[in-house]
Amino acid sequence: MSQITRRALVNATVAVAGTALIARVSHAQEIVSNDDATALAMGYAADHTTVDTAKWAKKAAPGGENQKCTNCTIYQRIDDDYGLCPIFVGKRVHANGWCNGWIA
Ligand code: SF4
């Protein structure tokens, strides 16, 4: 095995280990609930289809029905069900969630 190939193997191993560690740490984080104080302030709902559109104009606007965490710019996917959001530091948000911080 050449030195470059060995280095590539080490780099790939480190990358995989790092990704696994991030996933494990992320899964240990609390899931944001709809009655979390920040969630209430931001209109967060774990299911974006349940957002009160009479109260949250952004969600009521044309195209708002398609807004959800998975297509929000600041969403960081963990897996198919959850992700991280800088608004809810240290917690996980639902992939199908929404809040008024949604960004196209
Ligand atoms: S800011 Fe985006 S990713 Fe964060 S909770 Fe709101 S919609 Fe989801």
What average pLDDT does this structure show over 31-57? 96
Between 23 and 93, the higher pLDDT residue: 93
Lowest average pLDDT, out of 25-34, 43-52, 67-76, goes to 25-34
Q: What confidence category does residue 45 fall into, taking pLDDT thresholds of 50, 70 and 90?
A: very high
Ligand 1 pocket check: which of 91, 99, 103 to mutate, most ligand atoms within 8 Å of Cβ? Answer: 99
**What domains can you pick out in the chain, each with its CATH number?**
30-94 (4.10.490.10)
What average pLDDT does this structure show over 79-91? 97
Contacts of residue 84, Cβ cutoff 8 Å, sequence gap at least 6: 26, 29, 75, 76, 78, 92, 93
What average pLDDT does this structure show over 48-57? 97
Q: How far apart are CA 96 and CA 68, in angstroms?
A: 6
At residue 6, the pLDDT reads: 63
pLDDT digits (tens, 9 = 90+) for 1-40: 555 666 655 555 545 455 555 556 677 899 999 999 999 9
At residue 82, φ and ψ (nearest 5 deg) are -140, 160
Pocket of ligand 1 (CB under 6 A): 44, 69, 72, 74-75, 85, 87, 93, 97-99, 101-102
